[in-house]
Structure 1
Amino acid sequence: MLCRKFFAATAIALMSVPAMAAENITWWDFFSGGDGVRMKALITRFNAEHPDIKITGTTLEWGVPFYTKVRTAVAVGQGPDVMTYHLSRMPLGLKEGVLDEVTDKDLTDAGLTKDSFFPAALQAASGDDGKLHAVPFDIHSIVLYYNTKFLEGSKFLDGNGKLTGISNLKDFEEALAYAKEKGAEAPVSYATGDDGATYRVFYTLFRQLGGELITGNEVLAGDNLQKAAKAIEVMTNWQTNEWQPEQAEYEASVALFTSGKSAFSLNGVWEVPTMVDLEKKGSLGYKWGAVQVPNLMGTQTTWADSHSFAIPANNKLTPEKRKAVMTVIGWMEKNAIAWADAGHIPAFKPVAESAEFKKMEPNATYAALADTASYDPRSSIAGVGSPIYDAAINIISPAIHGYAEPMAAAEQMKSDLQNVLK
């Protein structure tokens, strides 16, 4: 009887002890559309698998509004526990002092190592001193989408209907001319009236020429001015030959390709889900593919950026909460195959090199670009929503539409950006 009373009392006492509260992690991101749907699904899965940690997510407006909010919140010590961050913004983020260091212990707590990431992404996530300030999540780039119906009967399709035979600018322009003859309204579509798209195409051509946009504290130093003019000249030639749309906004440029009016599209990997969904619905009416942007100008490289995870400075995290944050980051990296479904290349090599990813098309076809990616210059005037993007819409876009000679545009770009850099 005594034992029975003892155990009953003990059980009641245990029931009266409150359950240990989950570590609540405040999360900020800028993902909308398909990316937003996928990230919310990942957060839901994480929360279901980790009763001891709860992510409370908030999605803010992409671009300058997001980074302005981060800067303000960090200044008053009210930032989130973890946030997404474009690696192209890393130099500016370090200059503003909004990013905490990600230490070796942090990586250990996440179950990660530096060797687990592609070198280009890891370098972009680090300061000039080599210290890590973010954990790369993906590598996203522009790729070359193609519509096979405008290339049938040409040397540009192999026996399996895959793009082939484009190894320089002459080949590509021959393919554009062929597509024009076959009835393509815009043989190559990209958003010629948009800052981001114009910049990404320009920067890809410029970097393929071996160009360096910013050297030390100088914009377009030495022969880089001529290389910038050459890249603008190529884009202008596409306009003169009516191979690209005139002053197209982003949505219009996408519609030209999805509606079957373009043979090629130079756009981000983030449009892969759009193409896959249309194909599943049977509403495309043609076969398509996507490949790494070919080596048109002499060097195999492509503009790229990365979404990453970062811990804001001035965060006042307890050791327990910081470890929980790194647990979140580590889990996201190891489950990045779900993120790759949005067209991205996982920055975490064990996922990028997995059998599951290698079966994912067209991602696996263009995944090699991760090894040759060209990130924006390591400068506080570069990155998403930066003065460099402003130069693309205010200088490069008008030039390719005939409002300025390529060299004059390059010289204005140099002058304007140099003034900002000072």
Structure 2
Amino acid sequence: MSSAPLASRPDGAWGPSPDESPGIGRRRLFRYGAAGATALLAAGPLAGCASPAGSQGPSSLKVWDLFQGGDGMLMDEMIAAVSQGADGFHVDRTILDWGPSYYTKLAMSAAGGRASDVAVMHLSRLAGYAPGGLLDPFDLDLLAEFGVTEKDFAPAVWKRAQHAGTVYAIPLDVHPFIVFYDKDVAGKAGLLDPSGRLAPMGSPEALLEAGQQLAKVTGHSGILFGHVTDTAQSWRQFLALYAQTGASFTLPDGGPPKIDVEAAVKVVTFMKQLFDGRTNPNNLDYNGAMAAFMDGRGGMIMAGEWELPTFRKSGIKNLGAAPFPQIFDRPAVYADSHSFVLPHQDDPDPARRREAHRYVAEIIKQSLTWASAGHIPAYLPVQARPEYAKLDPQSSYAAAAEIAVLDPPNWFAGAGGNFQNRMCQPLQSALLGNTSAEKAVRQMVREADTLLRQPNPVA
């Protein structure tokens, strides 16, 4: 089977140049070129939706996000909670489709003087926006006044909320790439600790053995992973394992990429061993892996925590979850974070900007509601609440937030971007048996170098 182009998500997302000057005028709109305009038009009209307790109007706090479906309803619930009482917010919420078009609209709204008061951004995309002046920094003293400070977040996440030492994002959650498993199957396979949770693996050999034992119990497969034609899955798995080796994946502007080739080859070699096409299938797409796990044809699946609602609806009776297994030297999981940002405004009204800070502070305090969908609350006081400890299996992988590893901080990287797609293509080819680990890594390095040498399209 030949390596097919990846097309399960849109690609081609972009952000501002790291050396763009902070000042933004309407003339900047023309610098986004035909690609940006096309993306804006192709995305269709904005989907406006006011919160249940909110009201539209000049005094309403304008908020943009990309939460639809179940997440959208949870955000409605959270907004309703902070909109009650005499000091409640009036929120004019606009929901946009997830993908590159969302980030195109966010950039163009800031550049064109039509920015919302608050917006949601994947933390992995911050490097494409903060350096170019498309975001305004948060006032930490003002946040502290509303009960939110640096100590309320895991250092791994707080560090990525900054650019050049300045905080441009306040994380709502951490959403890691983890493992889900059938507790009954895992128990029969001897993989649970005395508390009934997945025992630590500790080595590549242990994870390979776990797959074999799970396959014996299910009579089908051990560990499932959907990667074929997907634009992110293989990269998520690779980066988690690569970070566990202790090696860095650094992409300095202009190149060349600083990648430990030996460590990368070691990781891809293991990925090929794990998904051998026998014990653990190597040719599943995303939906195929999901279906196989829900049908009991595999004891474990590597997937994002955001799939928790889907697995619950499927009727799996004894669902367990755990951080991505540590098999190399240091604990690490791939993750991202939905975060709140302040899109740039040339002359923000001080009272509205104060309300924006208060809104962000109050919403993240409501993230126990958000956790019901599987997301880890980034605000540590919520994690410390007894109600969160009782959430199963959410609380069992909460530690993943402390060891989160995000995409490299480059303008072309991050959620929905083309970088993940271009990394996934050689990894997919290797897992399908069409190329060696060495050749796959060489192609990854070449792809990274090519991206580093390309001019920022909006610089």
Tell me, yes or no, whether TM beats 0.5: yes
Aligned-pair distance for 1:82?
0.6
After the TM superposition, which residues 103-122 of structure 1 pair with which residues of structure 2 at under 5 Å, given as runs? Answer: 103-122=139-158
What is the aligned length?
Answer: 395
Q: Does 1:376 align with 2:413?
A: no
SS of the equivalent of 1:188 reads strand
Distance apart, 1:52 and its partner CA: 5.5
Change (3 A) 1:220 1:295: farther
Deviation at 1:150, TM superposition (A): 3.3
Residue-by-residue CA offset, 1:322-380 (whole Å, 9 max, x unaligned): 11111211111111111111111111111111222122222221111222211222222
Letter in 1 for 2:335: A
Residue of structure 2 equivalent to 1:391: 422
| Structure 1 segments unaligned to the other structure (5+ residues) | 1-20
Q: Is the 8 A contact 1:212 1:220 kept in 2?
A: no
Deviation string for 1:65-122 (max 9, x for gaps)? 1101111111111121110011111111124431111122331353311222111111
- The answer as to 2:174 corresponding to 1:150 is no
Distance 1:105 1:151, change over 3 A: closer
1:228 maps to which of 248, 260, 264: 264
Tell me the secondary structure at the aligned position of residue 321 of structure 2.
strand
108-117 or 132-141, larger mean C-alpha shift: 108-117
1:173-184 pair list within 5 angstroms: 173-184=208-219
How much has 1:393 moved relative to structure 2? Answer: 3.0
Instruction: State how far apart, in whole Å, the 1-side matches of 2:344 and 2:143 are.
Output: 17
Taking structure 1 as reference, are residues 62 and 245 closer, same or farther at Cα in structure 2, changes over 3 Å only? farther
Q: What is the match of residue 270 of structure 1?
A: 306
- Whether the 8 Å CA contact 1:30–1:59 is kept in 2: the answer is yes
In the alignment, the residues of structure 2 paired with residue 244 and residue 349 of structure 1 have an alpha-carbon distance, to the nearest angstrom, of 36
Partner residue of 1:346 out of 352, 369, 377? 377
* 2:340 counterpart SS class: strand
Change (3 A) 1:184 1:213: farther
Pick which of 168-177 and 190-199 moved more: 190-199
CA distance in 2, matches of 1:45, 1:140: 23
8 Å CA contact retained: 1:337, 1:346: yes
State the TM-score, normalizing by the size of structure 1: 0.88
Larger radius of gyration: 1
1:306 aligns to what? 337
Moved over 6 A (4+): none
Instruction: Note closer, same or farther for the CA distance 1:275–1:318 as it changes in structure 2 (3 Å cut).
Output: same
Give 2:358's match in structure 1, choosing from 308, 311, 327. 327
Q: Could you say if the C-alpha distance between residues 393 and 355 of structure 1 is closer, same or farther in structure 2, counting changes exceeding 3 Å?
A: same
- The DSSP-based 3-state class of the residue aligned with 1:263 is strand
- Give the SS at the match of 1:23: coil
Q: Residues 7-55 of structure 1, C-alpha deviation per residue, up to 9 Å, x if partnerless?
A: xxxxxxxxxxxxxx88311111111232112112212222234566311
Question: Structure 2 stretches of 5 or more lacking a match?
Answer: 1-56, 454-459
Change (3 A) 1:292 1:50: farther
1:131 is matched with: 166
The residue type equivalent to 1:304 in the other structure is A
What SS does the aligned partner of 1:311 have? strand
Flag the 1:179–1:52 CA change in 2: closer, same or farther, 3 A: closer
Identical columns (%):
27
The CA RMSD over aligned residues, in Å, is 2.1
- Quote the residue 1:416 is aligned against: 447
Which residue in 2 is equivalent to 1:13? none
Q: Would you say the 8 A contact 1:126–1:133 is kept in 2?
A: yes
Question: Structure 2 CA distance, aligned partners of 1:270 and 1:419?
Answer: 32
Q: d(CA) in 1 for partners of 2:280 and 2:108?
A: 41
Does the alignment pair 1:260 with 2:296? Answer: yes
Aligned CA distance change for structure 1 residues 219 and 61 (closer, same or farther; 3 Å): farther
1:258·1:275 contact (CA, 8 Å) conserved in 2?
yes
